Structure 1
Amino acid sequence: MHIDVRVQAREILTMDPARPKASRVGILNGRIVGFDGDLDGISAREVLDFGDACITPGLIDAHCHTAWWGLGLKSIDAGECPTLASLYDAIEAGAAALDHEPDAWIHVTGFNQALYDGAYPSLARLDQVTGAHPLYMRHTSGHAAVVNTETLQRIGAFRNDFEVPTGGVLRLDENNAPTGVLEEAAQGLVQALLMPYSQDALVDAIEAATSRYAAEGITSFSEAGVGGGWIGHSPIEVAAYQTAAERGVLHARAQLLPAIDALRPLQAHATDFHGRGEGRGLELGVRFGFGSDDVSFGHVKVFLDGSLLGATAAVTEDFCGHEHNRGYLLDDPVHYQERVLAIYRAGWPLALHAIGDAAIDLALDLIEEAQRLYGLLRAPCRIEHFGIARPDQVARAGHLRIAVTPQAGFIGPLGDQIVERVGEERADWLYRGRSIIDAGVILAGSSDLPVSDNNLRRGMQSAVDRLTDTGRLLGADEGITPEEALRTHTEWAAAATGQLHDKGTLQTGKLADMTVLASSPLVSPDIAAIAVVATILGGKISFDGREILSGGFAAHSETTPSRKAGAR
């Protein structure tokens, strides 16, 4: 009897309590068929021997923005500009490079006013360096953008009948003139000028992004908002992921979370949708879980508030340095209730973006009412970010049996800035870990890329030590163990995404998705520093770093001449 592949290493961490460790795993048709002694007497067409490496279940990023990041890889990176002067210079150079395309947009990503002592670019100076080109500069949080006068004119900001969309803000100066800063849903006015992105552009972005995911050991991800709102890129965005999979350029499994704006009212038989006969979803009744192993639908993404960095998250106490500013909800709670209940009874679990504690209150209310009226679905409802959570909210989340996706990766680069926003008295409530686990809430690991990078090992280390880049300990009682940190990006991420039956642990019958690390994350003094040796997706190598690392790893075939495993 032959199997396709046998993978072996000094240590395979299965995350399965029935068989926590192994040294060999067998793969047939992309799935696991056995371990160690199960494989005795069975030959494999290919053997991947990783020597002293440590293999874990494939890492899962439970909340990221793949197309957005992929498209931004060709943009000007504001994060590389340490001063406003250098930012202006970079934008001016970008404009000069587009002189042969007089109507072309200048795209900038990664802007963070914290780099400039809280200052935003001058609209007048931006107009000087951009000339006639429209500018779209996205804030690193994704919840704001900076534009120039040309862009303001194109969105109609100077017309007498101009209206800011619900849930958005156009910042004005002391003379009631636009500053060029757009918050939240107001960004949709710019997106409307750029959308729809072409399928080819999106496929290229997805390929570029997911090839980098593979290099970080990521085998699955949840794309947090497609097809609608300011977070979407095309009304047929899902087709881009399908096309990428068909062309063999999707290098990690994609779970797509439709934006609430992409869903429509549905009419069905009077007995459907819990006897209401109407719900809200995608055409033909397609719902959560529909798709393939490569591309499938996840939860519905719903924005309730903004960000802590931009002081637009809905909080119950004022932001520091922002007198009488408690952020804001992006819509009326009654309107949320109507749409969310219609979505849930149509079979869609909820992924509610709630960063401030006022928004978390609303998220918990909505989930509780949905579950009370219509019961539990096959996947738990989620609160995305759960950024500043009071102790009573943590306990309530456990009672409701939900999942949350706080970003431990924020703690290092953004932790000090966020503490300045909320104040010392609320610092221990930020992006919690230990208390979430102890309350019985599913803690799912996520990067929120491109807000933070997608080195998930760095995020795991931050979940353990909780140190900001200046060495501050953020939430001394919220640190978790290395094993728990690994589970946030394997077992628990799979549970939160409703996919534990297929991934998250290495067990017979599950997808053969694995991350090969140079050493064990359970005992390493710095998880972030562990090198990714290889990434295996369905038994095939999607990233191979063995030549880079050199030595100690091998691949051979038992039944055919030796060959090097290629990229997927």
Structure 2
Amino acid sequence: MSGEVLLRGVELHPRQDPVDCRIRGGAVVEIGRRLRPRPDEFVVRGDGGALLPGLADHHLHLAAMAARRASLDVSPLSRHGLASSVAQAVAGEDGWVRAVGYDDVVHGDLDRSVLDGWNRVLPVRVQHRSGALWVVNSPGLERLGALAAAHAGIERERTGRPTGRLWRADAWLREVLGGRPPSLRAVGARLAALGVTHVADATPDQGAGHLVSEAVRREELPQHIMTMAADAGLPPHPRLSIGPLKFVVADHALPDVDDLAGRMRQAHTNGRPVAVHCVTRTALALTLAALDRAGGLDGDRVEHCAVADRAGAAELAARGIRVVTQPTLVALRGDDYWERVDPADRPDLWRYAGLLHAGVRVAASSDAPYGDPDPWAGLRAAAERLTPSGRVLGADERVPVEVALRSMFSPLDDPGGPARRIAVGRPADLVLLDRPWSEAVRAPDAGHVRATFIEGRIAHGAQQLG
């Protein structure tokens, strides 16, 4: 639903006194008390509900979210359960058995031989929960032509025979498998229902930008989208922007610092900041060293920053490097992190408040589908830092809901920067809640989202408002 809308009796965050808000032409055009409805306007009773700027998810993976909907989720299963599921699985439309959520600690090591023992009839590929690794059985490797392929991520035995492990090979898989790209319509609708109006797609691969661009053009995605992919020359669209160039500092194959610096320098020359995936102390140190050699550019950022001590935080702040973190990963996997990391790293895991205190700009995000795409769950996780067992992981790293929320109001190209606000002349990218903010802040929940507006159009909630 689009056109002119008059929201009556809404609480403009952070104000608490109800006002009326008129939307026309995709923007907020008037704010005041008891505005007179016009004949062509759709009038919505706000009933004192909070009206917020639309939420931004500063790091997720749109195509992976769509693909996950058609995948077998093995994360809650034991190794025996994984084996049984793979053995009994039915192939999807593309002829593959596709499983996600594999955890090497829970499920043990996997390679082609293990998967062959479970299912040698159908091609099978199983994704590690980190998204960095696929394990493929022999029929799958044959279908992919992996023996003769030259991709660097194909792990091999000394004889040259593929082990079945494919590292950071998503772009190659898409190219080899072909077929139609997944529709992103359901993903866009789900995000709109959560109040998400702005999305940074952190998929780095060549081709990912064109996939997202086409989805925006076909109106599958109503959100404003910023892509971090390597694609160049994307067709212009008012809701699509080119963001920082994504780099992955993978711990299983750390890059040469001079090579990394050279690629960063080239990105900067092309006018793009860099967004660097770092999940260990070593990866962060390497990234900082490479950025020092490349020289910084405003907008440079570190994704995840899963381990950062005080010295690392100070170095990030001194260089003006932003951090995009994922609070729900603590809620989903905090116990695993605690048990599996070096004990010396435990005080520095998934820091938030400590980074802010050091002067680092920090923004919350989801990393969906590897984290929970629900931003309201992200607000709770940032404030509580509760693991699945109820342990508080880093009590000093908790931040108030309002602090995490402000980061979700920050622009896509300035994560952790000044919050977008509702004002006359500003874009009508808005979230209407079913209650005042003073109530919603005590227990943030996606169920409180009554409607989502993107460029003045009702992207979610038309039936409830009608």
Pairing 1:358–2:303 present = no
Does structure 1 conserve the Cα–Cα contact (< 8 Å) formed by 2:170 and 2:205?
no
The residue that corresponds to 1:210 in the other structure is 188
* Distance in 1 of aligned mates of 2:391 and 2:287: 30
Amino acid at match of 1:170: E
* Distance in 2 of aligned mates of 1:354 and 1:505: 31
Amino acid at match of 1:63: H
The residue that corresponds to 2:78 in the other structure is 83
Q: TM-score, normalised by structure 1?
A: 0.73
> What SS does the corresponding residue of 2:432 show, helix, strand or coil?
strand
Q: Work out the percentage of aligned pairs sharing the same amino acid.
A: 26
The residue that corresponds to 2:87 in the other structure is 92
Does structure 2 conserve the Cα–Cα contact (< 8 Å) formed by 1:411 and 1:468?
yes
Does structure 2 conserve the Cα–Cα contact (< 8 Å) formed by 1:483 and 1:522?
no
Pairing 1:127–2:46 present = no
**Residue 124 (structure 1) shift:** 4.4
**Residue 207 (structure 1) shift:** 0.9
Once the two structures are overlaid, the 10-residue window that deviates more, 414-423 or 514-523, is: 514-523
Unaligned runs of 5+ in 2: none
How does 1:220-369 map onto structure 2 within 5 Å? Answer: 220-228=198-206, 235=207, 237-259=208-230, 262=231, 282=232, 291-305=236-250, 313=251, 327-329=252-254, 331-369=255-293
Does structure 1 conserve the Cα–Cα contact (< 8 Å) formed by 2:257 and 2:289?
no
Does structure 2 conserve the Cα–Cα contact (< 8 Å) formed by 1:444 and 1:492?
no
Cα distance per residue 1:336-370 (max 9 Å; x no partner): 11111011022111111111122112222333444
Does structure 2 conserve the Cα–Cα contact (< 8 Å) formed by 1:533 and 1:545?
no
The residue that corresponds to 1:59 in the other structure is 55
**Residue 292 (structure 1) shift:** 3.4
Pairing 1:465–2:448 present = no
Once the two structures are overlaid, the 10-residue window that deviates more, 239-248 or 45-54, is: 239-248
Does structure 1 conserve the Cα–Cα contact (< 8 Å) formed by 2:54 and 2:431?
yes
The residue that corresponds to 2:126 in the other structure is 137
> What SS does the corresponding residue of 2:127 show, helix, strand or coil?
strand
The residue that corresponds to 1:490 in the other structure is 409
* Distance in 1 of aligned mates of 2:436 and 2:393: 25
Does structure 2 conserve the Cα–Cα contact (< 8 Å) formed by 1:8 and 1:48?
yes
Over 3 Å counting, the alpha-carbon distance change for 1:432 and 1:538 in structure 2 is same
The residue that corresponds to 2:430 in the other structure is 514
How does 1:4-43 map onto structure 2 within 5 Å? Answer: 4-13=4-13, 23-37=19-33, 40=35, 43=38
The residue that corresponds to 1:552 in the other structure is none
Pairing 1:532–2:449 present = yes
* Distance in 1 of aligned mates of 2:114 and 2:132: 23
Over 3 Å counting, the alpha-carbon distance change for 1:296 and 1:176 in structure 2 is closer
CA-based RMSD of the aligned residues comes to 3.1
- Given candidates 105, 108, 112, the residue that maps to 2:103 is 112
* Distance in 1 of aligned mates of 2:401 and 2:219: 34
> What SS does the corresponding residue of 1:484 show, helix, strand or coil?
helix
* Distance in 2 of aligned mates of 1:20 and 1:346: 45
**Residue 108 (structure 1) shift:** 1.5
* Distance in 2 of aligned mates of 1:339 and 1:257: 15
Amino acid at match of 1:433: Y
* Distance in 2 of aligned mates of 1:401 and 1:7: 39
* Distance in 1 of aligned mates of 2:317 and 2:157: 42
Pairing 1:50–2:49 present = no
Q: TM-score, normalised by structure 2?
A: 0.88
Amino acid at match of 2:132: H
Does structure 2 conserve the Cα–Cα contact (< 8 Å) formed by 1:447 and 1:459?
yes
Does structure 2 conserve the Cα–Cα contact (< 8 Å) formed by 1:459 and 1:528?
no
Amino acid at match of 1:256: T
* Distance in 2 of aligned mates of 1:187 and 1:148: 16
Unaligned runs of 5+ in 1: 229-234, 263-281, 306-312, 314-326, 548-554, 556-563
* Distance in 2 of aligned mates of 1:336 and 1:450: 27
Amino acid at match of 2:121: A
Amino acid at match of 1:185: R
* Distance in 1 of aligned mates of 2:445 and 2:139: 43
* Distance in 2 of aligned mates of 1:421 and 1:172: 27
* Distance in 2 of aligned mates of 1:368 and 1:522: 44
* Distance in 1 of aligned mates of 2:265 and 2:18: 45
* Distance in 1 of aligned mates of 2:237 and 2:8: 28
- Given candidates 164, 168, 172, the residue that maps to 1:180 is 164
Question: How many residues of Structure 1 are paired with residues of Structure 2 in the alignment?
Answer: 462
> What SS does the corresponding residue of 1:432 show, helix, strand or coil?
coil
* Distance in 1 of aligned mates of 2:313 and 2:241: 30
The residue that corresponds to 1:475 in the other structure is 394
Does structure 2 conserve the Cα–Cα contact (< 8 Å) formed by 1:428 and 1:476?
no
Over 3 Å counting, the alpha-carbon distance change for 1:529 and 1:28 in structure 2 is closer
Does structure 1 conserve the Cα–Cα contact (< 8 Å) formed by 2:13 and 2:437?
no
* Distance in 2 of aligned mates of 1:63 and 1:351: 10
* Distance in 1 of aligned mates of 2:217 and 2:462: 25
* Distance in 1 of aligned mates of 2:358 and 2:16: 25
* Distance in 1 of aligned mates of 2:137 and 2:279: 29
**Residue 20 (structure 1) shift:** 8.1
**Residue 179 (structure 1) shift:** 5.3
* Distance in 2 of aligned mates of 1:177 and 1:84: 25
> What SS does the corresponding residue of 1:450 show, helix, strand or coil?
coil
Does structure 2 conserve the Cα–Cα contact (< 8 Å) formed by 1:155 and 1:189?
no
Amino acid at match of 1:180: G
Over 3 Å counting, the alpha-carbon distance change for 1:367 and 1:337 in structure 2 is closer
* Distance in 2 of aligned mates of 1:177 and 1:240: 33
**Residue 36 (structure 1) shift:** 2.1
Over 3 Å counting, the alpha-carbon distance change for 1:497 and 1:435 in structure 2 is closer
Amino acid at match of 2:27: R
Does structure 2 conserve the Cα–Cα contact (< 8 Å) formed by 1:84 and 1:121?
no
> What SS does the corresponding residue of 1:477 show, helix, strand or coil?
helix
